[in-house]
Amino acid sequence: MAEVGDIIRQLRQDRSMTQEDLAARAGLKFSLIRSIESGRNQLTSYATRAALSKAFDLPLVELARLLDGPAPPVDITAT
């Protein structure tokens, strides 16, 4: 599975954005975007994920799926 920073970089590049563009669209600091893409920040903050989701025009659940992989199946028959 790809690293979080690689996925964010690819999403950004697919949209022809610079790191500065993404930071501005997401309302985040440029240094945070750089830190995420370099792997120094693993993007665990819900608020940051939500801001990036909006900047990428991507539903938050889809961004989470890309970053974390599919959710494990849930056994609905368990009591």
Domains of the chain: 4-68 (1.10.260.40)
Q: Is 90 exceeded by the pLDDT of residue 77?
A: no
State both tokens at 24. 């501005």
For the stretch 39-69, pLDDT in tens is: 999 898 999 999 999 999 999 999 999 999 8
Q: Is 80 exceeded by the pLDDT of residue 79?
A: no
Nearest to 63 by CA among 39, 38, 45, 41: 45
Q: Which residue has the tokens 């609905």?
A: 76
State both tokens at 14. 């697919």
Q: Report pLDDT for 78.
A: 62
Prediction pTM value: 0.86
Compute the Cα dihedral for 53, 25, 4, 35 and give only its sign: negative
Q: What is the radius of gyration, based on Cα positions, of the chain?
A: 14
State both tokens at 75. 């056994």
